[in-house]
Amino acid sequence: MNASTDLSLLTLIQDASLLVQLVMLILLAASGLSWWYIFRKRFAIAEQRKLAEEFEQRFWKGGDLQLLYQGLAGSDGGAMGRVFRAGYEEFVKLHKQTGIDPVSMSDSTRRAMQATYRREMDVLESHLSFIASVGSVSPYIGLFGTVWGIMNSFRGLANVSQATLAQVAPGIAEALVATAMGLFAAIPAVIAYNRFSDDIDRLSIRLESFMEECANILQRQSSRGSR
């Protein structure tokens, strides 16, 4: 028996039991799907961070907010731009009405921005739970396949009068491939989830700070207009 051939990775997968092969297939599918979401989420967060920086530069130049709002009609200001647009539209709508005090106008503006903010955060956080699930569950799925494979290996020795390491090693090796695949799926998912959670938290704090500053600016404008 040629050990280098019999114990190759492809041979171990092919010779594994049907249940262990099914476990490997599930882990392979979960790993591939998690990598797809990881790449999509990475580019989405990077794009939102870039758009937020560009919008903040335009916002803090001190220009007319009406011109800034009109400029967003033909371009994507990202999550921050959409939050500003929602708040400014609510502000303009209420500003045209009579008998509304600046405090009520400011509260309505904040609520409009908060609603858009929550929608944007929901989009950014989409599929994070799947990545987290892959990171936490994959090792246990792989361990299940390993335990099952080792059980089959020892059950196969029940009818053997003299068991040797050479007889049990291939079966154990086949089973351990499932654990290796579980770790292969879990480790990148855990790293990506922690990184994306931190990036989204930072972006969330940035948006919340912007909402407060924007609401204060609009409130001051409404106070001056009511005098």
Per-residue pLDDT in tens (0 to 9) along the chain, 227 residues: 444 445 566 777 777 778 888 888 999 999 999 999 999 999 999 999 999 898 888 888 877 788 888 877 666 678 898 999 888 888 888 877 766 777 788 888 889 999 999 999 999 999 999 999 999 999 999 998 888 888 877 776 666 666 666 666 767 777 788 888 999 999 999 999 999 999 999 999 999 999 988 888 888 876 665 54
Give the per-residue pLDDT at 163.
60
Give the per-residue pLDDT at 7.
57
Give the per-residue pLDDT at 69.
81
d(CA 114, CA 89): 13
Q: What are phi and psi of 186, to 5 degrees?
A: -80, -45
Return the structure tokens found at 197.
């959670």
Contact status, residue 77 vs residue 51, Cβ threshold 8 Å: yes
Q: Is the dihedral of CA 28, 34, 39, 42 positive or negative?
A: negative
Length of the chain: 227
Which domain, by its residues, includes 215?
A: 3-226
Give the per-residue pLDDT at 59.
84
Distances (CA, A) of 202 to 50, 69, 106, 180, 183: 13, 25, 25, 34, 29
Q: Is the dihedral of CA 71, 73, 77, 83 positive or negative?
A: positive
Give the per-residue pLDDT at 220.
80
Give the per-residue pLDDT at 219.
80
Structure pTM? 0.81
Return the structure tokens found at 102.
């600046």
Contact status, residue 114 vs residue 86, Cβ threshold 8 Å: no
Residue 44, C-beta contacts closer than 8 angstroms, at least 6 positions apart: 124
Give the per-residue pLDDT at 56.
87
Give the per-residue pLDDT at 92.
86
Total domains in the chain come to: 1
Is 126 in a helix, a strand, or coil?
A: coil
